[in-house]
Amino acid sequence: MENKKYLQIELRKKAEIKFLKDPDLIKDVLKSMSLNEIAQSMHELSVYQIELEMQNEELYKTQEELYNAKMCYFELYDMAPMGYLTLNADGLILGANLESAQILATSRKKLINQSFTNFIYSEDQDIYYMLRKKIAAFEKRQICELRMRNSEGKVFWTQITVNANKLIFSDISESRELRAIKEHNEILHNFSRKILQARESERKSMAREVHDQLGQIMAALKIDLIWLKHKIPQDSQGLMTKVDIMLGNINLGMQSVRSIVAQLRPLILDDLGLEAAMEWYVQKYLKSLNVKYNIRFKCEESLFNEDLKIVLFRIFQEALTNVIHHSNATKCSISLIQKDETLILQITDNGIGVTLEQIENPKSYGLIGIRERLYPYVGRLSVIGNEGKGTTLTIKIENFKKEIIDD
């Protein structure tokens, strides 16, 4: 509004100056005109004045729009978070925004008429050369990543987008580092999964071998000793006692074999499935400790692949190990429920409760192992502990039917 008033005042001043330069000419013209002609001229002047005012209004609006466009350009170009350069056909810099100067650690003035290639790292000059060749050949925007060196000698990674004589670039050193870390972590996760799979395969093989080979040998020894016992004369008490001791040792050995097999890989998991294996494990370890429990299994096990069964059982096993050895619980609730494409495994106890420090401890290898097993399935782990009120461990696997592809 102030600009408008200023413009009107300036126009008025200019008009008055022109009028004062030759006032007699106006008087002579008026003397030669009749009253009707003067009235007609006054009418035309009034209309012309209105037209001028309207033109003045339009001019003001145009000036305001130009100002707003200029400010918008300033915000979009000069204040942009990436470098914008205008190059000529020889690759010389004709224009640069503020971010360009900041990235290249110099002033905009010093950038003008410099060759853009001066800032490209020597070993990556060929990348930029090939980029320019593609632009010339295909006449469309091209993107690449290469290293640049600023005026202070610092080398950094950039992403460059070139379209005709316009070039956009930004420092992506940090994002590349994060991407490298992510890729490295992905490799570690895949490697960890391979190790877990290899270990499970080895455990399964060893469990079968121990059960079939050593179990059979122990069973054969027991049968032979029972046969031998029947052949010993009744009056040979010393010998009978020795055989009974040997039979007792064989029974202990067979129990040890079953225990080792169970720790390596419960054969019931392969023979009868996950639900039966979980039921057996709970009865074997919680019942013997007089821990009251309930277990709920509400899912279609036929939809689980072999790897998922192992993942679920090992997580369940790890959670129950914590209940048995650390929680001092008297009650435990276990559930495995399927809701559409989501699996939810939850183990709750009424023990001493896990603390936040224990959950976040980098040496909580049990939780680390659970997370590693869940990673291929993009599963989520939640552990909530209330001091003196127990702990609830929950895992969720969405879209569990999705096939995991080995890299």
Per-residue pLDDT tens digits for 45-66: 777 777 777 777 787 777 777 7
Query: Are 407 and 289 contained in the same domain?
Result: yes
State both tokens at 39: 């009235």
pLDDT in tens, 118-127: 999 999 999 9
pLDDT above 80 (res 73): no
- C-alpha 352/C-alpha 329 separation (Å) is 7
Query: Are 397 and 286 contained in the same domain?
Result: yes
CA nearest to 292, candidates 235, 233, 253, 332:
332
pLDDT above 80 (res 381): yes
pLDDT in tens, 287-332: 878 889 899 999 888 888 888 888 899 999 889 988 888 888 899 9
pLDDT above 80 (res 30): no
Per-residue pLDDT, 211:
77
- C-alpha 8/C-alpha 12 separation (Å) is 6
Percent of all residues in the chain with a pLDDT value above 90, rounded to a whole number: 27
Query: Are 208 and 140 contained in the same domain?
Result: no
Query: Are 402 and 321 contained in the same domain?
Result: yes
111, 141, 171 - which closes a domain: 171
Query: Are 390 and 404 contained in the same domain?
Result: yes
CA nearest to 285, candidates 321, 328, 327:
321
State both tokens at 239: 């010998």
Count how many domains the chain has.
4
Query: Are 371 and 287 contained in the same domain?
Result: yes
State both tokens at 146: 């290469």
137, 171, 205 - which closes a domain: 171
Query: Are 22 and 64 contained in the same domain?
Result: yes
Percent of all residues in the chain with a pLDDT value above 70, rounded to a whole number: 88
Residue with tokens 């040979």: 236
Q: Which domain holds residue 95?
A: 83-171
207, 240, 265 - which closes a domain: 265
pLDDT in tens, 322-363: 888 888 889 999 999 998 889 999 999 999 988 888 888 888
Q: What angle do CA 354, 357, 360 make, to 5 degrees?
A: 100
Worst-scoring range by mean pLDDT, 63-72, 126-135, 387-396? Answer: 63-72
